Structures are given as structure tokens and as C-alpha cells.
Structure 1
Amino acid sequence: MTQRSTDGGLQKLATGRDISLFAKDVADQSDRLNAAICGKRILMIGAAGSIGSHTLMQIAGFGPAALHVVDHNENGLAELVRQMRSQPDRWTLNDFQTLPIDYGSAAMGHFMKSQPGYDAVLNFAALKHVRSEKDPFSTLQMFETNLTKQARLIGWLKETGFKGRLFTVSTDKAANPASMMGASKRVMEHVLFHSAGAQALGCEKTSARFANVAFSNGSLPQAFQFRLERGEPLAVPADTRRYFVSLEESGEICILAAFLAPDQTIAIPRLNPDDHLIPMQDVAEEFLRHHGYEPALYDDEVLACRSVEPERQQGRWPLLVTPLNTAGEKPYEEFSTDEETIIEFGLESLKAVVYLPAQTKRIEEALSQLQLILDGTANAPLDKDRLKAIIAHVEPGFLQTHRDSDLNLDERL
């Protein structure tokens, strides 16, 4: 859904800054962005979510001729329309459409064939939670959304003669992936840049790996807000540091990456561990202080839940600190691997990872294996090891980097 607002003070709790790191580049590059967007036809997929909707707001300000939004979340689309229509002086939208359809569905194929060509397509649709590897069925859905439907979209674009720019969001968790989610986004990069369909498409393709978006839908900081409202303890993993960008910054990163990054590159923010990796426990504690409570640390879930009211009466709030031992969780984050090459492309806030190809044959074999499972024609039963093997067929290093565990995030507060 579209993002509920958060005040600047809350954003600063996670990012540690008052001013966007990326706004200056957007302003400095406004002429180039205007040339790429003004009067152009833009398709945005999955843009009713936090990152997509904030990117849409950036794009709309440059006056595209058409701005079409596809997202299966019809409630999110309704809110997006209300927000856009309520600010007529800010946007100039001659052709603004929202469609509540799945981007890999037959309806999407029919829609694509009905439209004149697009100048740019931006894809934000993804299953993005580490917790989705809790069972093979959720993992399969994640792979279908992140991989199979991406390949299908590329095929439809080829059929319509697309020659513009194609952008799909990745994640920092794709670098040395510890989770099935991160690994699926790494393979998504391969599908985007080097699958047989991508090579036949013949357009410019870019992506972006970036940090956690503070207070975005589904994020842990957003959960702090909900838990405080519901009278529940907050919870954070111990000894865990994360990069954060604000909601506004997420849209700025994506517009810069989608329209200005060089072909076959993945934009990454110019963040460094010493200055920008933030301990999650610090964010939770400062969040509580922002709301007038001192944190009361707990390591027992039941006791933390029972202690909300007694602690509240003393001006404190329970904060449960849990071990970092569930499947796919990584204690720190990184934007690139040692094997990847990083280049400059003229921006102060972003640089770019040059895409490092996997074998096209292996990408296609993985997509075929996945399709057999989705079609129900595969012989072997569906299990986690089988899905992991499909990823490892393209990314063999995942067998070493995956942080597997019998515990999952759904078993935690």
C-alpha cells in the first residue's frame, strides 16, 4: 500500500541525518532527468508500495506524457490515486492510469499488447522479506514473483518492440546473499541483464541495490509504530547493523538509477560502514525516547509481553532483544562483492556495480526448472533443498553464504 507519513524526526532516528543524501544529485541532474521523462510514456510496476510510490512522485514532477501504474494491491492503488489527485498544482499528468493486476498474469499480457510503446519501464514488484524462506511454498511464490514473472515481462516487452530503459529494483541482500530472498534478487539481476530474453530485448537495463527504507511498509521500524499503538513490546535482533535511507531518499535513488545509471549496471549508494551502518537496537531505543519512554531491555518474550503496562506506568517500554539465529538473517549489510567492479557515473551520492554475468545457459535452465515446479509437472516433491539447488545452479556461492537455520522469523515476536 502507499506509505503512511512519518515525521522527519522519526526518519532521522534510523538514517542519522536531516537532509537527503541524494536530493542534490536530483536537483543537479534535473535537465537530464527532464529530457528522459518529460513527454515520455512511463510504466511502473508494483508502484503502490513504499519505494515505488515515492519514485512515482519524483517522476510525476517531470511531466511524463503517460504514467501507468500496475500493482495487485487495489487498496494501495486507490490511496495512490487519492494522493495524486489531491495535489493538482504539483503534478502534470495527462494520462494517469492505475491497474490492479498481477504483473505476471494473462491480464498483464493483454494490457501490454493494447498499449503504444513505453519509453521506460520500472519494476518494483517483489517478495522482499527474509522470512519468506520459512516454508517451500512461500519460497516458491517468492521465486515466481522475483524471477519467473520478471522473465515473462521481458518477453512481453520484446513482443511489443520495446527499446527504452528497463529498471528493476534489487537489494543490498543480493551481495553475498545469506537468505533465499537475497539470492532470488541476485538471480533476478541475472534474469534482467543476461537471460536469453534480456539479451534479445536490446534495450538499456539498470538496477539498484540499496539499504533498508526506514518506516517503509513491512519494515521493522514501521513495526515499532504499530506495536507502540497496540500496546506491545518492541523487538530487535541483537548485534545487528543496517544501512537506512528515508522514504524520500528511496525515490531519489530509483529515479537516478532508472534514468541515469549506465546500461548493465546496478546503482549503489555511497554509504560507508563506519558512518552509516546503524545498530538496530539503537534505532529501537531512540524510537522509544522519541515517544517519551525509556527502553526496558528483555530477553524473554512472554515476560516482555506481560510487562508492557507495569513498565508504561514507570515511563518505560519493554524492548525484547533476540539472538540473531533465524534463517537468512545477516549481522551486517554490503552493497557489492569483492569480485564486482565499481565505477563512477557522475553523481555525488551514487556509484555503480558493473553487472558480473552468470552463464546464460544456467539462467535458462534455472528458469525452466522453476517453471516445471510451477506447472506441477516436476517429478520430485517440493522442498527447500530443491529450491536452493535451483538458485545454486546459477549462483554456486550461495551454498556457502546461505545462513540456514531450523528457526524462522515467524517464530519470533
Structure 2
Amino acid sequence: MKLRRFGNKIYGGDTLINLTDIRYLPRWVVLILDLCFVAAAVYFSCYVIEKLTYSVQSVFYGRNYMYFLILGISVFFMFIFRTFTGIIRHSTFIDLFKLFMATFCTTFSVGVGSFLFYLVTNERLIYMSIPFSAIFFTTSFIFLFIFRLAVKEFFYYAREYRRSAQRTRIWVLGIDEQAVAVARAVLDNPNLPYHIAGFLTQRNDSARASLLGKPIYSKDKIENTSKEDLMLDGILVVKEMMSKEELNQWVAFFLEKDLQVYKAPTLQQLRNNDPDASIKSLQIEDLLNRKAIKIENDEIKSRHFGKIILVTGGAGSIGSEIVRQVAQYEPALIVVLDQAETPLYETELELRTNFPKVNFKFVLADISNRHRLEPLFQKYHFAMVYHAAAYKHVPLIEENPHESILVNVLGSKNLAFLSSRYEVNRFVMISTDKAVNPTNVMGASKRTAELYVQALQEVDNNKTKFITTRFGNVLGSNGSVIPHFKKQIEKGGPITITHPDIVRYFMTIPEACELVMEAGTMGNGGEIFVFDMGEPVKILDLAERMIKLSGLEPDLDIKIVFTGLRPGEKLYEELLTDGTKTLQTHHEKILISKDACLPFDQIDGLTNLVIKAALRRDKVDVVRNLKNIVPEFISNNSVYEALD
């Protein structure tokens, strides 16, 4: 049937026959070919015996039917051991062993038969039967083995050639064990649309060496050869085996050469057959991401294990990640509070699926409504409160300053006051670097919340430890710049940037939340913890690199358009106010900012005034009051500059 389909394909006009389309040879064809090799082994054995003994007589003493007798015995044992039934290109050690046994039994039977014939008739069937048997056994086994090996290798190289022609040709960066293990996993997986064409290394002493049958190239090879001559589509990097600086240097080099950069899954994912263990294009997050903070603090577990925890803004980017991390410490209950209905529902579905043993309570509520919050504090007696709920989008808040007061100020006051009243052990508020020397309403509202929380710490009879943490921009958070740029690139551009010189700090969501967890345990109350966020990133460079990582050219495939600074936006974000002193902590990446504080009565009165203005929807009065609370608040590119 297979030969018929093969013939129909030819007669049907398709002359492009792909050898790898032939699934396997019919069994009778394999049997006939095996017998041909056995016959060749018999002839070769006779030839060698005659040459070794300089004899002109036949090895079989004129009995030529011995050829057919040996072939018949071979057929018998081939049927017994079914040596011809396996698919040759997939031969294994078991198939090799069956081949050995069939050849051995054939040789042994011929030898025993020859000996018995001699005992009965006193005549020999085979001249020098023992040397003949040894040569025949060795030769026939080698012929049959080489036949299978040749077929196996032929189909392997035919398949590899076909795969390399149809798949993305990539080099693996690195020649260490991790890189080799990843390359082997790719080579062994026929379903991946990638072909490993070689390895790339910084070293120059490996040019004549090879790994997994693939050549090793030096960096000079790419520098001195065009992409077309290299016949190369991209580079596969193992991100975990190099520092951020090394990764950025290599990626910049590859992008200059118009090479696509791919990210390999971790070895752990490959070994565990993780469904997410696939090769993906390198993302900008991989380049901005620093080595993650690894917190090993037994106190974190003790403060969450068996406790009731409240997370506000629990459906947001930061809040939901805090919930995930807290859930790992087996709390008695996590109350997840948010006012956004759909995100809260989606978060509930995810958390109940991923943490089936953790007890959750999902509450739809507005933190500006104290009457809605207080029953929760009365009922659950929270051990810790993580306050991540906030309005954060600068342009929207600049147009609606009263709304930011109701959430960022009044909401924070409600939660902090209730935490103190009901003796919550620790209250951790998430602030922002925009609260430092603010130029917009959002930053000023968060700074006001910081001042209130710090002042509440010093109130008589307060037993709650109030802790504040400041972050920069979070990678992948809702509404952040990177997802926005990705959408613009997917639509074909243009990418819109407010100013060519604007820079921002970046960190990952897990990093931010690990800091929150650490701050929640190390703080003694009243501190503002600041994270060492490394070097700021120029947004224009970020956009250009994202375009190149997508395999496109900036200003050619994707235009970059500058739209001007938005109301309240500034070029540079800061983590510390001017003249602020900092204190070291036991974690090298975490500092304590010693910002100026206000007495509780003063900040309580000032916040009441700004809240009343917000309830009246008096935007100008809201901003005027904010500037009284935060003297360093100087509006930038905003209608409120007149109030400065």
C-alpha cells in the first residue's frame, strides 16, 4: 500500500518526493535486504578462508547448497527473533540485541550441524568450520548492524536537513553545561520550530571544536560576516546564566546585527516538562529585570502563618501579587478588598484555582467609606493590613484632583485609623516615588497619606506599627508604559513618548512585593522604606529597544512621535527628597528615608480641610490645600501652576 501511494504520488505529477515522508519500509523488503547481507557475509567468509589457507578447494567441499542452507537457517531465526519487524530508523538496543541473538543462533546451528554431520559420516561439510563460523558471525552481524545504522543516520540527516530548511535557524549563546543542556532539549524535540545551527562564545579557542555535532563560533564570526552569509535568523540566550550587564551587552550587539533574540526556558522547566517551557522572543522586561531579591526571613512566615490578613487594592497589579505571596505562608484567612468589580472577580477565580487550600474572602468595597470598612475590622481582627489601593494615573488625577483625595487621602486615613483603633499589629502602605518633590496632584496626595500615617504612629496608646514603602514604576502593571508600547507596536505604531529626555526607574512586580513583605517585618513603625532601584532608564531607549526586539526598525517600521509632557509630569523621578538622610538596613537594597514629619493634630486638621474641599468638588481649593500640606509640591505643566 505504501509503495502504491508512493507510485501514485509520482504518476500524479508530484516529483518532489521527500524521503522523510516514507514512514518505513515493508517488512518483506527488510527481510530480503537482510538475507542479501547474510549472503554477502557467507561469500566474504569463504573468500577470507580461501585466501588465508591458499586453498583452491571450496570451503563447502563442493556442496554449494550450503549457501541456501545457511540462508534458510538465518530466515528461521530472523522469524524467531523478529529482527525485521522494527522500524529501522527508530532502532534501539533491544533491536540490536535481537540481531545479535539471531546471528549467533544461526552460526551456532551451522556449527553444530556440521559437527554432527562429521560424527555420522566422517566427512566435513565445511572446510575449517571454526574459523569460518567466527568470520561469518562477525561479518554478518556487522553488515546487518551497519545497514540499520546507515538507514537510521540517513533519515536523521534527511529530517534535520528538512527541519533546518523550514525552521528558524538559531545559535545558542554559550558553551557551558546549561547552554548545552538547553540545546540538546531543542534538538530532541521535533515539534519546536527551531533548528540549532551552532554555538556562539566569546572565546576564540573553540573554532575547531564542536558540540552535539554543531560548530562553535566566536563573536568575531558575527562581526565580520553579514547576516545573509551566516544563514542565521537569531540567537538563543539562557538568561539565567549571565548578569544583567552581560545580557544587555550581548543583546545590544545582536540587535545591531539585525538578529532576533530568543529566550530559553529554564532547565528546571525542561526537566519538569512544564507546559510553559517554550522558546520565546526576549522581552524588554528581561533586560530591565535585575537579580531578584531573595528574602529568607523566618519572621515573615511567623507573621502570616495562621493569621488573618487584609490586602486593599487586592485586584490590582501590586495587590494581587501581595496576595499570592502571602498565600504561600498558609494564613488563616486573606481578605481581598477592591472596588473594581470585574478585576476582583477575575482575581478570585485565579486565586481559588491556584491556592485551593487557602481561605479567601473577597470584598467589593470603597475604602473612602469608613462605615463599609469598620465592620470588617470588627469581625476579622486583622494581624496585618497591606494597603495597595490607590488612584495612580497622573493625567487623570490632574483633571480630577478631588477623586484622588477621596481615595489616596481619605481612604488611607480610614484604613490607618481603623488599624490603630482595632490594634492591627502592622499596617504597610505602598507609596510611590512621585510623592518625592511632587509636581502633580497624585504624588502630592500620596505624600499627604505618608505624612498622616507617620504622624499616627506617634499618637498616644497606638499599638500598630505603621510602615511605608516607596516604589518606582512597576514592569507590566496596569496602564504602565511597557504594555502600552507593546500594544502600539502590535498595531504598527506609532509609539508615543512625551519627551525625548524623560527617564524612569523600573522594577518587577515580584520585586516590589518582596520589598513590601520584608518591610512589613523589619519596620519598627514610622519608617519610609526606599528600594535601591539601580540606574534609571531613558524611555526613548526603552522604546527603540522594544521595537528592535520585535524584529522591526525604529522610525522605519515603527515611528516614534513626541507628544509633549502631560500635565503634572516631570522628566526625572526621585526616591528621596532634597537633603533627606538615609539609614542602612540589614538588606543592602533597602534604605530608610528620614523625611520630615508633622504632628498628628496638625496633619489631621489639614487633611480634613482638603477632604472637605474634595467633597465640594472644588478642584482649585483641593490643590491649594495640598500645597499647604506639602510645601515642596510645585505643579509642572499644569493649570495649577498659578497657585505656586
- 1:86 is displaced (CA, Å) by 2.4
Structure 2: how far apart are the matches of 1:92 and 1:141?
Answer: 38
Q: 2:567 aligns with which of 314, 319, 327?
A: 327
Asked whether the equivalents of residues 120 and 165 of structure 1 are also in contact (C-alpha less than 8 Å), the reply is yes
Residue of structure 2 equivalent to 1:303? none
The Cα offsets for residues 110-146 of structure 1, whole Å up to 9 and x where unpaired, read as 53255131110011111111113443xx110011100
Residue of structure 2 equivalent to 1:145? 407
Residue of structure 2 equivalent to 1:164? 425
Structure 2: how far apart are the matches of 1:355 and 1:406?
Answer: 28
Q: Which sits farther off after the overlay, 185-194 or 113-122? A: 113-122
- 1:58 is displaced (CA, Å) by 1.3
Structure 2: how far apart are the matches of 1:365 and 1:156?
Answer: 18
- 1:240 is displaced (CA, Å) by 0.8
Residue of structure 2 equivalent to 1:125? 389
Structure 1: how far apart are the matches of 2:307 and 2:560?
Answer: 49
> In 2 relative to 1, CA 260–8 (structure 1 residues): closer, same or farther, beyond 3 Å?
farther
The unaligned stretches of length 5 or more in structure 1 are 297-310, 409-413
For 1:260, give the aligned amino acid.
Answer: M
- Number of aligned residue pairs: 362
Structure 2: how far apart are the matches of 1:10 and 1:107?
Answer: 45
> In 2 relative to 1, CA 374–322 (structure 1 residues): closer, same or farther, beyond 3 Å?
closer
The Cα offsets for residues 232-281 of structure 1, whole Å up to 9 and x where unpaired, read as 42111320111100122122122112232332111111234xxx110001
Structure 2: how far apart are the matches of 1:108 and 1:263?
Answer: 26
Asked whether the equivalents of residues 264 and 354 of structure 1 are also in contact (C-alpha less than 8 Å), the reply is no
User: Aligned with 1:205: secondary structure?
Assistant: strand
User: Aligned with 1:389: secondary structure?
Assistant: helix
User: Aligned with 1:68: secondary structure?
Assistant: strand
Asked whether the equivalents of residues 192 and 198 of structure 1 are also in contact (C-alpha less than 8 Å), the reply is no
Q: Superposed, which structure 2 residues align to 1:192-231 within 5 Å?
A: 192-195=453-456, 201-231=462-492
- 1:163 is displaced (CA, Å) by 3.5
Residue of structure 1 equivalent to 2:628? 393
User: Aligned with 1:364: secondary structure?
Assistant: helix
- 1:45 is displaced (CA, Å) by 0.5
Q: 1:285 aligns with which of 530, 540, 544?
A: 544
- 1:349 is displaced (CA, Å) by 2.0
> In 2 relative to 1, CA 392–204 (structure 1 residues): closer, same or farther, beyond 3 Å?
same
For 1:144, give the aligned amino acid.
Answer: L
For 2:317, give the aligned amino acid.
Answer: S
Q: Superposed, which structure 2 residues align to 1:182-197 within 5 Å?
A: 182-195=443-456
Q: Which structure has greater helix proportion?
A: 2
- 1:157 is displaced (CA, Å) by 2.8
For 1:332, give the aligned amino acid.
Answer: Y
User: Aligned with 1:294: secondary structure?
Assistant: coil
The Cα offsets for residues 30-87 of structure 1, whole Å up to 9 and x where unpaired, read as x121111111110000011011111211111111111110001121122212222222
> In 2 relative to 1, CA 84–194 (structure 1 residues): closer, same or farther, beyond 3 Å?
same
User: Aligned with 1:317: secondary structure?
Assistant: coil
Whether 2:604 is the aligned partner of 1:383: answer no
- 1:374 is displaced (CA, Å) by 4.2
Q: 1:109 aligns with which of 373, 376, 379?
A: 373
Tell me the TM-score normalised to structure 2 length. 0.53
- 1:12 is displaced (CA, Å) by 3.0
The Cα offsets for residues 264-311 of structure 1, whole Å up to 9 and x where unpaired, read as 111111234xxx110001111111112121111xxxxxxxxxxxxxx5
CA RMSD of aligned residues (A): 2.6
- 1:105 is displaced (CA, Å) by 2.2
> In 2 relative to 1, CA 389–256 (structure 1 residues): closer, same or farther, beyond 3 Å?
same
Percent of aligned positions with the same letter in both sequences? 25
For 1:188, give the aligned amino acid.
Answer: A
Asked whether the equivalents of residues 304 and 326 of structure 2 are also in contact (C-alpha less than 8 Å), the reply is yes
For 2:494, give the aligned amino acid.
Answer: P
Residue of structure 2 equivalent to 1:100? 364
Q: Superposed, which structure 2 residues align to 1:4-153 within 5 Å?
A: 9-12=282-285, 15=288, 17=290, 19-20=291-292, 22=293, 24=294, 26=295, 28-29=296-297, 31-88=298-355, 92-93=357-358, 95-105=359-369, 108-135=372-399, 138-153=400-415
Query: Highest relative contact order (Cα 8 Å, sep 6+), 1 or 2?
Result: 1
Q: Superposed, which structure 2 residues align to 1:203-352 within 5 Å?
A: 203-237=464-498, 238-272=500-534, 276-296=535-555, 316-324=557-565, 326-352=566-592
For 1:323, give the aligned amino acid.
Answer: G
- 1:11 is displaced (CA, Å) by 4.9
Structure 1: how far apart are the matches of 2:284 and 2:461?
Answer: 42
User: Aligned with 2:391: secondary structure?
Assistant: coil
Residue of structure 1 equivalent to 2:136? none
Whether 2:644 is the aligned partner of 1:403: answer no
Tell me the TM-score normalised to structure 1 length. 0.80
> In 2 relative to 1, CA 343–240 (structure 1 residues): closer, same or farther, beyond 3 Å?
same
Residue of structure 2 equivalent to 1:178? 439
Structure 1: how far apart are the matches of 2:433 and 2:459?
Answer: 22
For 1:99, give the aligned amino acid.
Answer: V
